[in-house]
Amino acid sequence: MLRKNEVKNTGNNYKSSLLLSRFLGVVNIGPLVALTLWVLIFTLINPFFISISNVKIILLNASFTGIISFGMAMVFITGQFDLSAAGVATLTAITAAYFMVLLSWPVWISILMAFLMAIMVGLVNGFLIVKLKITPLVATLGMMFILIGAVKSITEGYGIYPLPEVFNNIGKAKIFGISWIIIIFIIIAILFDFILRKTTFGRKVYATGADVRVARLMGINTNLIKMLAYVVVSLFAALSGILYMSYIRSGTTEIAGDWILLIIAGVVIGGVSVFGGQGNIIGVTMGVLVVWTMRSGLTMIGARSEFQLLAIGGILIISTVFDYFKRRSRSSD
């Protein structure tokens, strides 16, 4: 009888260990610990930090950059990166506003035109990098300046408003007191995490970033995967830009102003390797929340915006260095 109990306990311990290992395999423990520590620190400084209203504000802000960070994570996992994503968010939002307000097109057609613009930018980025072999830094940096120039040309420095009320209602919509934008963010996180971790397409994305030559030998069209990654991040950027414009109810050139640092920081802090082949969306979600928790807390204690960017940039560098040594130690094993 004692042996049966021992066997049973051993089996239960094994199942518990297996569940824990699976949990740790999905959730990057680093950003989870960082998020917990920052919440505790800022709550001790100011208990209002953990209030429902402030948590909702953090989640809402995290939703805008987080949606783009999911697409950026896919680009990073394939071994690439994109500096033009914030510019895509701005241009596509302004494009939708231009068609809605200045041309009086229906809202849904205007939004469709914005998404078509995003697809075009993603395809151009992919073509320059994948087909013409231009480095991602040069190609996407150049694209970023083109997009900024296009926005200024369209708006001439002025905002486009008033936007149609039916469009503004998207940004105001809530369910059980929670903004639909936050719900969209959560739904995308769950679906995109499933796609990357549980589907054949997702495995191809990871294989492409892990070792492109091996992936090609496996019959994977790595060029197509890389191009799709740029299209996906552009589409997510368009969605985020449009949602943000609906929330602020104006098509301004300030949409996505300093987002690119926050987007990349969320991805890297979330455990996605800058060298490709590693990372997951759950970790990115945590990373994005770490970024916005820090920003909210620093704002609450009166830190200037320059110091906030300095702090986020510092953590970004530390995360990158940690990723380098972690990858180096694995390769030496």
pLDDT of residue 315: 81
Domain boundaries of the chain, sorted by first residue: 28-328
For residue 31, is the peptide bond before it cis, meaning its omega torsion is within 30 degrees of 0? no
How many Cα neighbours within 13 Å face the side chain of 19?
Answer: 6
**pLDDT tens for each residue of the chain, 333 residues long:** 445 554 444 445 545 544 444 444 445 677 888 888 889 999 999 999 999 999 999 999 999 999 999 999 999 999 999 999 999 999 999 999 999 999 999 999 999 999 999 999 999 999 999 999 999 999 999 999 999 999 999 888 788 989 999 999 998 899 888 999 999 999 999 999 999 999 999 999 999 999 999 999 999 999 999 999 999 999 999 999 999 999 999 988 888 878 999 999 999 999 898 888 989 999 999 999 999 999 999 999 888 877 887 888 888 888 777 767 766 666 555
**HEC sequence for the chain:** CHHHHHHHHHHHHHHHHHHHHHHHHHCCHHHHHHHHHHHHHHHHHCHHHHCHHHHHHHHHHHHHHHHHHHHHHHHHHCCCCCCCHHHHHHHHHHHHHHHHHHCCCCHHHHHHHHHHHHHHHHHHHHHHHHHCCCCHHHHHHHHHHHHHHHHHHHHCCCCECCCCHHHHHHHHCEECCEEHHHHHHHHHHHHHHHHHHHCHHHHHHHHHHHCHHHHHHCCCCHHHHHHHHHHHHHHHHHHHHHHHHHHHCCECCCCCCCHHHHHHHHHHHCCCCCCCCCCCHHHHHHHHHHHHHHHHHHHHCCCCHHHHHHHHHHHHHHHHHHHHHHHHHHHHC
Structure pTM?
Answer: 0.89
pLDDT of residue 79: 93
pLDDT of residue 163: 94
Cβ within 8 Å of residue 141, ≥6 positions away: 83, 84
| 261 CB burial (10 A radius; 0-12, 13-18, 19+) | middle
Q: Look at the domain 28-328 and name its fold.
A: ABC transporter involved in vitamin B12 uptake, BtuC (1.10.3470)
How many Cα neighbours within 13 Å face the side chain of 156?
Answer: 0
